Structure 1
Amino acid sequence: MAASIEARHTQTGWLLQPCLQLAPLDTERADAVLADISASALELDLPRVVGLLSADSGARRFLASIFGLSPFLRDLARRQPQMLDMLFEQTIAQRLAAIGSEIKTCWKGEGVSENELMQRLRLLKAQAHFLIALSDLAGEVETQITVQRLSLLAQQCVCAAVAFLLAELGQQGKLALLYPDDPGRDSGLIVLGMGKLGAHELNYSSDIDLILFFDHRAVTGDPMEATELFSRLARRLVRILQERTAQSYVFRTDLRLRPDPGSTPLAIPVQAALTYYEARGQNWERAAMIKARPIAGDMEAGAAFLEELRPYIWRKYMDYAAIADVHSIKRQIHAHKGFSQIAIRGHNVKLGRGGIREIEFFVQTQQLIAGGRFPELRGGATVPMLGQLAANGWITDEACQTLTRHYWFLRRVEHALQMVNDEQTHILPEDDEGLERIAHLLGFADRTAFSTLLRHALGEVESHYAALFETAPELSASTGNLVFTGEGDDPDTLQTLHSLGFQRPNDICRVIRIWHFGRYRATRSAEARERLTELTPALLEAFGKTRRADEALMRFDEFLSGLPAGVQLFSLLHSNSALLRLMVTIMGTAPRLAAVITRRPHIFDGLLDPALLSELPSRAYLEARLSAFLEGDRSYEEILDRLRIFVSEQKFLIGVRLLAGAIDGRRAGRAFSHLADLAIDAALVAVTAEFERRHGRIKGGRVMLLGMGKLGSQELTAGSDIDLILLYDHDLDANDSDGEKPLAPAHYYSRLTQRLIAAVSAPTAEGVLYELDLRLRPSGNKGPVATHIDAFRKYQRQDAWVWEQMALTRARPVAGDSMFSMQVMVEIDGVLSQPRDEDQVRCEAYDMRRLIEEEKPAQDFWDIKLAPGGLIDLEFIAQVAVLTGHSSARSTGQPGVTSTFDVLAGLAPDYADAAMREDLVQAYQFYASLTQIIRLCLTGPFDREDVPPGLVDLVLRVSDMPDFSHLEAELKDRQAQVRRCFERILHRHKE
Structure 2
Amino acid sequence: MKVTDPSAARRDALARARDHAPFLRRAAEIFPEVVEAFLAQGSEVGVRAALAADDDNVGARLRRQRHGLALAVALADLSGEVSLEWVSSTLSDFADSAMDQALRTAMLERVPDAEPRGIAVLALGKLGSHELNYSSDVDLVLLFDPATVPRRNREEPGESAVRIARGFIELMQQRTEDGYVARVDLRLRPSPEVTPIVLPADAAISYYESSALPWERAAFIRARAAAGDRALGESFLREIRPFIWRRALDFGAIDEIRDISLRIRDHYAQGQAFGPGFDLKRGRGGIREAEFFTQVFQLIHGGREPGLRSAATVEALHSLGAGGRLDPHVAEGIAAAYRALRIAEHRVQMIDDRQEHRLPVDPIALDQVARLDGLADGPRLVAQLGPHVEFVGLQFDGLVSKQNETLSNDPDILRSELSAIGFADVEAVQRQVSDWRSGRARSLRSPAARNAFEAMLPTLMQAIAAGPDPGHALNRFGDIVERLSSGVNLYRLLEARPKLADLLALILAHAAPLADQLGRRPTLLDGLIDDSSFTAPPDADALAVRFLRFMGSEPFDMALEQVRRKVGERRFALGVQLLAAHRDPIVIAEGYSDLAEAAVVALSAGVEAEFERSNGKVAGGELIILGLGRLGGRALTHASDLDLIYLFDAPEGAQSNGRKPMPATDYYNRLASRISAALGTPTAAGPLYEVDTRLRPQGAQGMLAVSIAAFEAYQRSDAWTWEHMALCRARPLTGSAAAKARVRTLIENILQSSTDEAKIRADAAAMRAEMARHKPPAGPLDIKLGPGGLVDLEFTVHTLQLTTHAGLDPRLEVAIAALVDRELIDEGADADLRLLSRMLVVLRLVGAKEMEPAEQSRQLVATLCGQPDWESLLAVVDAARQRIAARWAKVKGMSDAE
TM-score (normalizing by structure 1):
0.47
Structure 2 counterpart of 1:726: 646
Residues 686-706 of structure 1: CA deviation (Å, up to 9, x unaligned): 222232233222232211000
Equivalent-residue separation in structure 1 for 2:418 and 2:607 (angstroms):
53
Structure 1 counterpart of 2:757: 838
Equivalent-residue separation in structure 1 for 2:759 and 2:894 (angstroms):
9
- Report 1:296-311 matches (<5 A): none
Confirm or deny: 8 A CA contact 1:559 1:598 kept in the other structure: yes
Equivalent-residue separation in structure 1 for 2:428 and 2:659 (angstroms):
62
Please point out which of 925, 938, 963 is paired with 2:834: 925
Structure 2 counterpart of 1:13: none
Please point out which of 522, 545, 550 is paired with 1:601: 522
Q: Are 2:605 and 1:685 equivalent residues in the alignment?
A: yes
In structure 2, relative to structure 1, the CA distance for the partners of 1:514 and 1:824 (3 Å cut) is: same
Please point out which of 795, 800, 817 is paired with 2:736: 817
Residues 514-535 of structure 1: CA deviation (Å, up to 9, x unaligned): 5445566765665654554343
Confirm or deny: 8 A CA contact 2:752 2:805 kept in the other structure: no
Structure 2 counterpart of 1:641: 561
Equivalent-residue separation in structure 2 for 1:857 and 1:930 (angstroms):
19
In structure 2, relative to structure 1, the CA distance for the partners of 1:886 and 1:789 (3 Å cut) is: closer
CA root-mean-square deviation: 3.2
Please point out which of 583, 591, 596 is paired with 1:676: 596
Deviation at 1:582, TM superposition (A): 1.1
Structure 2 counterpart of 1:494: 415
Please point out which of 623, 634, 643 is paired with 1:703: 623
SS at match of 1:705: strand
Equivalent-residue separation in structure 1 for 2:849 and 2:520 (angstroms):
18
Equivalent-residue separation in structure 1 for 2:773 and 2:823 (angstroms):
27
In structure 1, stretches of 5+ residues that fail to align are 1-318, 325-472, 891-896
Please point out which of 760, 771, 775 is paired with 2:694: 775
Q: Are 2:878 and 1:972 equivalent residues in the alignment?
A: yes
Equivalent-residue separation in structure 2 for 1:491 and 1:505 (angstroms):
10
Equivalent-residue separation in structure 1 for 2:681 and 2:424 (angstroms):
40
Confirm or deny: 8 A CA contact 1:483 1:493 kept in the other structure: yes
Structure 2 counterpart of 1:70: none
Equivalent-residue separation in structure 1 for 2:848 and 2:858 (angstroms):
16
Structure 2 counterpart of 1:942: 851
Equivalent-residue separation in structure 2 for 1:485 and 1:496 (angstroms):
11
Structure 2 counterpart of 1:233: none
In structure 2, relative to structure 1, the CA distance for the partners of 1:818 and 1:615 (3 Å cut) is: same
Structure 1 counterpart of 2:770: 851
Please point out which of 787, 790, 793 is paired with 2:706: 787
Structure 2 counterpart of 1:613: 534
SS at match of 1:867: coil
Deviation at 1:802, TM superposition (A): 1.2
Confirm or deny: 8 A CA contact 2:626 2:732 kept in the other structure: yes
Please point out which of 573, 594, 597 is paired with 1:653: 573
AA aligned to 2:868 is P
Structure 2 counterpart of 1:904: 816
Equivalent-residue separation in structure 2 for 1:517 and 1:632 (angstroms):
46
Identical amino acids, percent of aligned pairs: 33
Please point out which of 536, 540, 549 is paired with 2:470: 549
Deviation at 1:852, TM superposition (A): 1.4
Deviation at 1:499, TM superposition (A): 6.8
Confirm or deny: 8 A CA contact 2:817 2:830 kept in the other structure: yes
Confirm or deny: 8 A CA contact 1:838 1:884 kept in the other structure: yes
Residues 900-927 of structure 1: CA deviation (Å, up to 9, x unaligned): 12212221455545xx322x11111111
Residues 690-730 of structure 1: CA deviation (Å, up to 9, x unaligned): 32233222232211000011111111111011110000121
Residues 620-660 of structure 1: CA deviation (Å, up to 9, x unaligned): 5533543455562313x222222221211110011111112
AA aligned to 1:698 is V
Deviation at 1:825, TM superposition (A): 1.1
Equivalent-residue separation in structure 2 for 1:680 and 1:986 (angstroms):
36
In structure 2, relative to structure 1, the CA distance for the partners of 1:778 and 1:627 (3 Å cut) is: closer
Equivalent-residue separation in structure 2 for 1:928 and 1:909 (angstroms):
22
Deviation at 1:777, TM superposition (A): 0.6
In structure 2, relative to structure 1, the CA distance for the partners of 1:777 and 1:759 (3 Å cut) is: same
Deviation at 1:539, TM superposition (A): 2.0
AA aligned to 1:552 is A
Residues 397-428 of structure 1: CA deviation (Å, up to 9, x unaligned): xxxxxxxxxxxxxxxxxxxxxxxxxxxxxxxx
In structure 2, relative to structure 1, the CA distance for the partners of 1:564 and 1:851 (3 Å cut) is: closer
Equivalent-residue separation in structure 2 for 1:943 and 1:925 (angstroms):
19
SS at match of 1:718: coil
In structure 2, relative to structure 1, the CA distance for the partners of 1:620 and 1:518 (3 Å cut) is: farther
In structure 2, relative to structure 1, the CA distance for the partners of 1:626 and 1:504 (3 Å cut) is: farther
AA aligned to 1:724 is L
Deviation at 1:964, TM superposition (A): 2.0
Structure 2 counterpart of 1:459: none
Please point out which of 795, 799, 802 is paired with 1:883: 802
Please point out which of 952, 956, 961 is paired with 2:858: 952
AA aligned to 2:811 is S
Equivalent-residue separation in structure 2 for 1:764 and 1:835 (angstroms):
44
- Report 1:272-291 matches (<5 A): none
Residues 350-377 of structure 1: CA deviation (Å, up to 9, x unaligned): xxxxxxxxxxxxxxxxxxxxxxxxxxxx
In structure 2, relative to structure 1, the CA distance for the partners of 1:689 and 1:756 (3 Å cut) is: same
Equivalent-residue separation in structure 2 for 1:575 and 1:497 (angstroms):
22
How many residue pairs are counted as aligned between the two chains? 501
Confirm or deny: 8 A CA contact 2:779 2:851 kept in the other structure: no
Residues 274-332 of structure 1: CA deviation (Å, up to 9, x unaligned): xxxxxxxxxxxxxxxxxxxxxxxxxxxxxxxxxxxxxxxxxxxxx999xx9xxxxxxxx
In structure 2, relative to structure 1, the CA distance for the partners of 1:750 and 1:651 (3 Å cut) is: same
Deviation at 1:859, TM superposition (A): 2.4
Residues 406-451 of structure 1: CA deviation (Å, up to 9, x unaligned): xxxxxxxxxxxxxxxxxxxxxxxxxxxxxxxxxxxxxxxxxxxxxx
SS at match of 1:816: coil
AA aligned to 1:706 is L
In structure 2, stretches of 5+ residues that fail to align are 1-260, 267-400
Structure 2 counterpart of 1:537: 458
- Report 1:395-434 matches (<5 A): none
Confirm or deny: 8 A CA contact 2:623 2:735 kept in the other structure: yes
AA aligned to 2:764 is A
Deviation at 1:948, TM superposition (A): 5.8
Q: Are 2:661 and 1:742 equivalent residues in the alignment?
A: yes
In structure 2, relative to structure 1, the CA distance for the partners of 1:970 and 1:687 (3 Å cut) is: same
AA aligned to 1:485 is N
Deviation at 1:573, TM superposition (A): 3.5
AA aligned to 1:851 is E
Confirm or deny: 8 A CA contact 2:544 2:599 kept in the other structure: no
Equivalent-residue separation in structure 2 for 1:847 and 1:911 (angstroms):
26
SS at match of 1:723: strand
In structure 2, relative to structure 1, the CA distance for the partners of 1:626 and 1:745 (3 Å cut) is: closer
SS at match of 1:810: coil
Equivalent-residue separation in structure 1 for 2:768 and 2:545 (angstroms):
42
Confirm or deny: 8 A CA contact 2:407 2:457 kept in the other structure: no
Confirm or deny: 8 A CA contact 1:907 1:917 kept in the other structure: no
Confirm or deny: 8 A CA contact 1:573 1:580 kept in the other structure: yes
Residues 483-535 of structure 1: CA deviation (Å, up to 9, x unaligned): 5426xxx2453365367564654443344345445566765665654554343
Equivalent-residue separation in structure 1 for 2:559 and 2:403 (angstroms):
45
Deviation at 1:880, TM superposition (A): 1.8
Please point out which of 543, 546, 562 is paired with 1:622: 543
SS at match of 2:553: coil
